[in-house]
A and B are shown apart, each in its own frame.
Chain A
Amino acid sequence: MTLWTIIIYLIPLKYAHWLHLFPVLKEGWLPILTTVKTSIFSFLGFEIAFFLYPFLQKKEKASMGVVIANTLSLLAFLMVTIGAFIFYSPDEITIYNEPTIEMLKVLEFKFIERLEIVFFSFYLFVISTTVLPFMFMTVFCTSQLVGKQDYSKHLACFLLIEFAVVVLFPPSFDENTHLQQVIEKAGIILAFAFPLCLWGYVWVHGLFKRRAIK
């Protein structure tokens, strides 16, 4: 589903300046490593496998699925990022709030102008795939907590609450960014620190149990 968006990103490449990509490691590795924190958010979601694992029928293929899914999204992000890097000069790209969206404004055909407006309405569906798994997991987990299999009621409640929040307190751009940063941190903890702790717990638990048996 996201594939066609990438094809659209190929069109502005006629304005590309490949020289912008050089030198490859401008300031060394440090600035690259510091941005990992921000980019990791887009790759989160694989930790859902952690929760879904008990329900899987072919458990041995789970890790493979996670790797394939993340590789696909990696390729998509890589293309869009490189596209933006060669489209914008390194001095100007920092000025834009959303350079990857802004660069689609140059799209223009003989039969349609301002194509980006049409594009964005469809892009909503594409971007929704980032949110949908999280939404699903939320209602899935709450219904599991209550002990019910059917999560449709929870979903309805959740959507209603979300709708009410957005209508009553419409978030500004800054608040959105802030929220994203909070979720990023929470996501990193959930995806990397939490399994480690859990593993530690299981290990310690096992240690004590064995001792008790002795």
Chain B
Amino acid sequence: MKRMCLAILLVFLIAILSSCGRHVPLEDLTISLILGVDLDDENNLIISESSPVFNKDAKKSVETYQLKAKSIRASRKYFDALATGEVTAAKIQILLLGKRVLEHEDWFSILDTVYRNPTFSINTRVIVVDGPVSDVIFYKPADKPQLALHLKEAIDKNNGRSRTVNNTLQVLHRQMYEKGLTPSISEIKKEKNLKFVGVSLLNENGKYVDSLSIQDSSLLLILKDEQKQEVTFTIPMKSLDDEGGIFNKNELSIDVNRVKSKVKTKYDQDKFHFNYKIHMTVTIVEQLFPVGKVKEKELEKMIEKELNSRFKVLIKKIQENKIDPIGLGLYARAYQYEQYKKVEEHWGKALAESNIDVSVDIDIKSMGAIK
């Protein structure tokens, strides 16, 4: 019994004390929270990083560097030369990708170390910057918390409201390698303020092809069946033949409570057919036109018509660009594997030729607290 106790104690001591050997105080670390990858005008790779400073004497709480380097790992030695402590990548929260990078094919290989080196966190949020990355990474607004926190919160919150995709490094990896799916990444822009502008769509090789607005991103999320608890649409009731005036009298906002979507996959006449049936239970949260102008049943029809046409526009955009941010390739593989296998390598092209039907079915659950 005594020997047993001693043995257990020894195991615990070894387990605990082993961490004392290589301790590093927090002050001696430069913990990168943002990593930026961009190209300059002469197509040189520019790596930037931003990290918090844990020192009372320092006037600024964030240090940010930007330099030319051959690769992400190679950039570390230059950062080490600049920063106070050892630069570590383990806590990177945000990866900023300049749009200039995405305009080239095969840029994805630059991120190799992020996946190969186990110290990198795989939950890093990936964001595309419309414009130079340096504008964003050196941006220090007085009314915001540190940029890394601000960006992470903002992207998570917008994702929670189904306005943008939540693209971590893990998700990006999947989207890059999966043949039946093309990547879609949140996009930000620095004008006067830093703001979300929507989702950038990449093609199979990772090249940037198009962007979606915030409203269209919600539609994309519904098609992907990845909507979160809150989905809101504000749509003009065009059929009211009312110009709206200054107070936009024909606007209607709906809050989507439940989305049930079904996809039927068929292969017929040498092309794929995808038949979406989307059933939404909605609550009306804002209605600027007077009550009694339209009946509830008509209202349902009007919303259906409007959403249907929006989905159509989105799908047309997707098919024209020969991309598949929705992931319909997964449906094709799951249900029509024989045919999918033939076109796997050029799925975007096959999708462009296929037939995608969306029919929305709206059910108004409540008109709100007032009539």
Residues of the B chain whose Cβ atoms lie less than 8 Å from the Cβ of A21: 334
Tell whether, in the assembled complex, residue A22 and residue B174 are in contact, meaning their CB atoms are under 8 Å apart.
no
Q: Within residues 40 to 64 of chain A, which ones have a CB less than 8 A from any CB in chain B?
A: none
Residues of the B chain whose Cβ atoms lie less than 8 Å from the Cβ of A88: 174
Contact partner, B170, options A95, A106, A114, A121, Cβ 8 Å:
A106
Give Cα A101 to B168, complex, Å. Answer: 18
How many residue-residue contacts, CB under 8 A, span A and B? 50
Residues of the B chain whose Cβ atoms lie less than 8 Å from the Cβ of A91: 177-179
Residues of the B chain whose Cβ atoms lie less than 8 Å from the Cβ of A37: none
Kindly supply a per-residue 1/0 record for chain B positions 116-154, scoring 1 wherever the CB is within 8 Å of any chain A CB and 0 otherwise: 001001110000000000000000000000000000000
Q: Within residues 15 to 59 of chain B, which ones have a CB less than 8 A from any CB in chain A?
A: 15
Q: Within residues 146 to 201 of chain B, which ones have a CB less than 8 A from any CB in chain A?
A: 168, 170-171, 173-174, 176-179, 181
Tell whether, in the assembled complex, residue A105 and residue B122 are in contact, meaning their CB atoms are under 8 Å apart.
yes
Residues of the A chain whose Cβ atoms lie less than 8 Å from the Cβ of B121: 105, 113-114
Give Cα A91 to B178, complex, Å. Answer: 5
How many residues of B sit at the interface, in one of the four size bands? 20 to 34
- Chain A, Cβ-Cβ closest to B118: A105
Closest Cβ of chain A to B184, distance in Å, is 15
Q: Per DSSP, are chain B's interface residues mostly helix, strand or loop, or mixed? A: helix
Q: Within residues 327 to 371 of chain B, which ones have a CB less than 8 A from any CB in chain A?
A: 327, 330-331, 333-335, 337
Q: Report if A192 contacts B (CB, 8 A).
A: no
- Chain B, Cβ-Cβ closest to A103: B170
Kindly supply a per-residue 1/0 record for chain A positions 72-115, scoring 1 wherever the CB is within 8 Å of any chain B CB and 0 otherwise: 00000000000000001111100100000010011010000110
Closest Cβ of chain A to B114, distance in Å, is 11
Residues of the A chain whose Cβ atoms lie less than 8 Å from the Cβ of B181: 89
Closest Cβ of chain B to A125, distance in Å, is 10
Tell whether, in the assembled complex, residue A22 and residue B335 are in contact, meaning their CB atoms are under 8 Å apart.
yes
Q: Per DSSP, are chain A's interface residues mostly helix, strand or loop, or mixed? A: loop
Tell whether, in the assembled complex, residue A92 and residue B122 are in contact, meaning their CB atoms are under 8 Å apart.
no
Q: Report if A23 contacts B (CB, 8 A).
A: yes
Q: Report if A15 contacts B (CB, 8 A).
A: yes
Tell whether, in the assembled complex, residue B123 and residue A108 are in contact, meaning their CB atoms are under 8 Å apart.
yes
Residues of the B chain whose Cβ atoms lie less than 8 Å from the Cβ of A106: 122-123, 168, 170
Tell whether, in the assembled complex, residue A19 and residue B330 are in contact, meaning their CB atoms are under 8 Å apart.
yes
Chain A contact residue count (CB 8 A cutoff): 21
Residues of the B chain whose Cβ atoms lie less than 8 Å from the Cβ of A205: none
- Chain B, Cβ-Cβ closest to A92: B177
Q: Report if B302 contacts A (CB, 8 A).
A: no
Residues of the A chain whose Cβ atoms lie less than 8 Å from the Cβ of B317: none
Q: Within residues 78 to 129 of chain B, which ones have a CB less than 8 A from any CB in chain A?
A: 90-91, 118, 121-123
Closest Cβ of chain A to B52, distance in Å, is 15
Give Cα A91 to B340, complex, Å. Answer: 14
Residues of the B chain whose Cβ atoms lie less than 8 Å from the Cβ of A20: 330
- With A89-B174, A89-B177 given, name 10 new contacts (CB 8 A): A19-B330, A23-B333, A23-B337, A88-B174, A89-B178, A91-B179, A92-B178, A102-B122, A105-B118, A113-B123
A contacts, CB < 8 Å to B: 15, 17, 19-23, 26, 88-92, 95, 102, 105-106, 108, 113-114, 121
